[in-house]
Structure 1
Amino acid sequence: MENAQRTRWNILINGSTFAGLLMTVLFFIYGIQSHLFTSQIGLQTFLQKFGFYAPIIFIIFQAIQVVLPISPGGIGCVGGILIFGPVQGFIYNYIGICIGSIAAFLLARQYGSTYIKNLSNKKTFNKYIGWLEKPSFERVFAIAIFMPVAPDDTLCYIAGISKMKFKTFVIIILLGKPFAIAMYSLMLNFAVQRLLPFLQIIVGTIK
């Protein structure tokens, strides 16, 4: 019964991940064709369609992608900077990811390890669940959140089934995420800007 439930969850998660990645790729192609990433006018025209709600929609998207892997988190981070600019993009990324991280913690605390197993990659879960056995889990968790080198979403879930206090978790997330998001976004933004001319050539060829 548990295996059947896990299989259904895996299908749902893998399907949502593929759909999210596909939509991200299609949006990126659309953005290149519409000059969203290279033209201030093109970007303003796109955002005018959503008006006041554009930042809210993006924040909700970033929060959801922490709880459900509908798209790679790094793509959302660099997308926020490309669409809203470095300052506003960082702020919206920070708010959305923090909300999603706190939601993941609370969901794990409410529904336990079975819920996490259904949502997480089995290999990743088995790799990091051992961290709970370390007496210094809070310190290791804080370092991982501060440095963008570990699967933060899975760790937030694991923290939810640890003995960590909710207040401690929130403080670590609020203080640790800014640096990680900034570094992650800057690295990805640099990579995208380097690849953008080549992508424009490829999209032009397809057209």
Structure 2
Amino acid sequence: MDRQKAFAYNRKIVQIVTVIGIVLSIMIALAVYRSGYFKGDGEAFRQSLEAMGGLAPILFILIQVIQVIYPVIPGGVPCLVGHIVFGNALGFTYNFIGITIGSIINFYLARNYGELLVRSFVSDEQYDKYHHWIDQQDRFGKMLFAAFALPGFPDDFLCMVAGLTSMSFKRFMGIYLLSKPLTLYIYTMIMLKGAGFLSDMLNIFVRGGH
């Protein structure tokens, strides 16, 4: 099997698994919603968390790690859930731990398995868009800092691209720790406020309809 066929074959597998994951996520979400698990004051949900004890944050961090390596739903959703379920301080902590572990894994997956793996997760167009940075380590470091600090960049994919460069893990983590924590907190809080506003507007609309 030549390289192009290998890229296409691996990418097809990733796409199929992604679709299956999305469908399963929607089905689970609908089942939970219909069960009334979160209705009222959410007491049933809180009791479940309390019964899980220390396992709850561990499971959430694991979900966040998996989400970074193999995104099935938009990355902002787990971040919002973390803040809503665990509060701002612990929610941010668990989010950051999970995202950091996932980012490190992405870096080392690319470093160990190379281009064949990385190209399996993105289109040729997206790969080509960032591939030219691989041989420009100094400029790539600055771009990576901007990508972690600003919205709109494929952060998880760029962690893999970093693994393809000659950038040391120490420098990668230095850039990550300088740019990621504050912006992650700020953007999550903005999304949280936006979600609260939309929820209030929806409640007003529903009450107005009655």
Q: TM-score, normalised by structure 2?
A: 0.82
Whole-Å separation in 2 of the counterparts to 1:20 and 1:93: 21
Write the distance in 2 (CA, Å) between the matches of 1:57 and 1:123: 35
Aligned to 1:204: none
Displacement, 1:175?
2.6
Which stretch of structure 1 is more off in the superposition, 79-88 or 153-162?
A: 79-88
Aligned residue runs from structure 1 range 118-157, under 5 A: 118-134=120-136, 135-157=138-160
The answer on whether the counterparts of 1:145 and 1:177 sit within 8 Å (CA) in structure 2 is yes
Distance 1:6 1:22 in 2: 24
Tell me which moved more, 190-199 or 142-151.
190-199
Report the equivalent of 1:174.
Answer: 177
Q: Distance in 2 between matches of 1:26 and 1:81?
A: 23
Structure 1 pair 148/180, CA: closer, same or farther in 2 (3 Å)?
Answer: farther
Question: How far off is 1:18 after superposition?
Answer: 3.0
Q: Distance in 2 between matches of 1:49 and 1:18?
A: 32
Does structure 2 conserve the Cα–Cα contact (< 8 Å) formed by 1:16 and 1:69? no
Supply the distance in 2 between the matched residues of 1:98 and 1:86 (Cα, whole angstroms): 18
Structure 1 position 46 matched with structure 2 position 38: no
Q: Which has the higher contact order (CA 8 A, sep 6+)?
A: 1
Distance 1:18 1:8, change over 3 A: same
Using the alignment, how far apart are the partners of 1:200 and 1:24 within structure 2? Answer: 25
Identity %: 32
- Aligned-residue offset at 1:167: 0.5
Residue of structure 2 equivalent to 1:108: 110
User: Unaligned regions of 5+ residues in structure 1, if any?
Assistant: 202-207
Change in CA separation of 1:176 and 1:157 when aligned onto 2, cut-off 3 Å:
same
How many angstroms does 1:65 deviate by?
1.4
Structure 2 residue 78 is the aligned partner of structure 1 residue 76? yes
Unaligned runs of 5+ in 2: 205-210
